[in-house]
Amino acid sequence: MKGKRIFIWMLLCCFSLPVMAQQVKTVLFLIPFYSSTYNETDIVNVKYGKELNNIPSFQMMGFWGGAQIALQEYEEQGVPLEIVVRDITNNETKLRQIMDDKSLMERVDLIIAPLFSDLFQIAAHYAKNYQVPIVNPFTSRDDILEGNEYVYKLTPADEATPATLAFMLDNIPNHQIVLYTDSAKKNLEYKAYSSYFTTHNIPFKTVHTLQGVLNSMSSDLHNVLVVMHQGEALSLTLSQRLLYSGKKVDPEHLLMIVPETWISSNTYDVEYYDKLNLHFFSDYYVDFESEQTELFIYNYIKQFNTIPTLKNFAFQGYDVTRYFVELILHNMDPDQVKVNPLGYYFILDKHPDGGYENVNVQFLQVLDNTILPATY
């Protein structure tokens, strides 16, 4: 079957990339491919291509596919790289065996490791001992940075969201911020907002009910409503109540920031996008109409006979590989890195007692049923 051929071909690529020359930069990929759990029956039962993403053996194939497209660009440029790929899955013993291989690790210049946090902590400890930068694209845990200057965490901290919003609101006069959350004590997102706004003396209101939202809306101010509920049922109810409340909640008086899941929901009515001036935050944004993106999609489909998506991490795999290979080629100086990313935009901030964290989060707007970067 086509799906089986894709899997086997990509997996073989993982373990057969050649050493191109002496004095090369060596990149070690530690990726949970779950190759030991591969089951042909699972592939046969797939009816739609997107269902492959639900099979553990395929969940990181897109990331590795995007990485391969990036590596091929370096090969075409004649940049000498040695690529080593290991399937880690959740095997701590196997991970330690790899990291204890001094003949390998003493020549590694970069480790890209989209691993679960416990395994990543182990790999990061070895990376520190070998003084090798190690990248985790997906974890949101801040503790991986503590005491380890070689760790690069690419998912922005919770504080990046309110900081970005505050920066944007500097250009919106006469506004008020309303935070809508069901439980202030349990909601970590609310804690990030309230802590940041309190620390920086930014006024805000907190409400816990739909009626509280309606009562807080002002006709004299630009209402900035930050919704922290995730439920799809609430998304429709809140939107309807706002539109038909009789208050000024048109796009001229309202900027509504909602969970990213609302935008991708099949139940949310698209008529609300423009009427409620919907915005959301995301770790990455891909402009699917750009020539660079179209070329990447073309090359990816041509090579792997499947479509790259954000959900299969293909764009992320390309960006992470492209950026960090450039970084090691320029002696870890980000000012020398000239990369046009597909989805990530890296602003790396050094923690005083640890590693580097990406602090750039994307503030996006839904306009005419199209997702665009918000501008204010």
Q: Token pair for residue 303?
A: 């090579």
Full domain range(s) for residue 270 = 160-282+364-373
Same domain, 178 and 198: yes
Report percent pLDDT > 90 for the chain. Answer: 56
Mean pLDDT of the chain: 84
Lowest mean pLDDT among 61-75, 120-134, 252-266, 358-372: 252-266
pLDDT (0 to 100) of residue 220? 87
| pLDDT band, very low/low/confident/very high, at 58 (cuts 50, 70, 90) | low
pLDDT tens by residue, 84-137: 999 987 889 999 999 999 999 999 999 999 988 889 999 999 999 999 999 999
Same domain, 212 and 238: yes
Same domain, 122 and 176: no
Q: Is 224 helix (H, G, I), strand (E, B) or coil?
A: strand
Question: Among the ranges 20-29, 178-187, 353-362, which has the highest mean pLDDT value?
Answer: 353-362
Q: What is the DSSP letter of 334?
A: G
Cα dihedral sign, 88-144-228-170: negative
Backbone angles phi, psi at 135, to 5 degrees: -115, 130
| CATH code: domain of residue 329 | 3.40.50.2300
Residue 9 has pLDDT above 80, yes or no: no
Packing angle of the helix pair 188-199, 160-169 (nearest 10 deg): 50
pLDDT (0 to 100) of residue 331? 93
Same domain, 203 and 146: no
Same domain, 36 and 145: yes
DSSP 79-119: --EEEEEEE-TT-HHHHHHHHT-HHHHTT--EEE----HHH
Same domain, 60 and 200: no
Same domain, 217 and 100: no
Residue 215 has pLDDT above 80, yes or no: yes
Assess if residue 359 is contained within a domain: no
pLDDT tens by residue, 234-243: 777 888 888 8
Packing angle of the helix pair 61-77, 2-14 (nearest 10 deg): 50
| Number of domains making up the chain | 2
Same domain, 186 and 108: no
Assess if residue 357 is contained within a domain: no
Assess if residue 55 is contained within a domain: yes
Comparison of pLDDT for 184 and 219, the residue scoring more: 219
pTM over 0.75: yes
Q: Are 53 and 313 in contact (CB under 8 A)?
A: no
Same domain, 295 and 332: yes
Same domain, 42 and 122: yes
Mean pLDDT across 218-234: 84
Burial of residue 57 (CB within 10 Å: 0-12, 13-18, 19+) is buried
Q: Is 350 helix (H, G, I), strand (E, B) or coil?
A: strand
Report percent pLDDT > 70 for the chain. Answer: 83
Same domain, 41 and 134: yes
DSSP 132-169: --EEESS---GGGGBT-TTEEE-SPPTTHHHHHHHHHH
Q: Tokens 């779950």 — which residue?
A: 34
- Could you give the C-alpha distances from 186 to 189, 238, 243, in angstroms and in order? 9, 21, 29
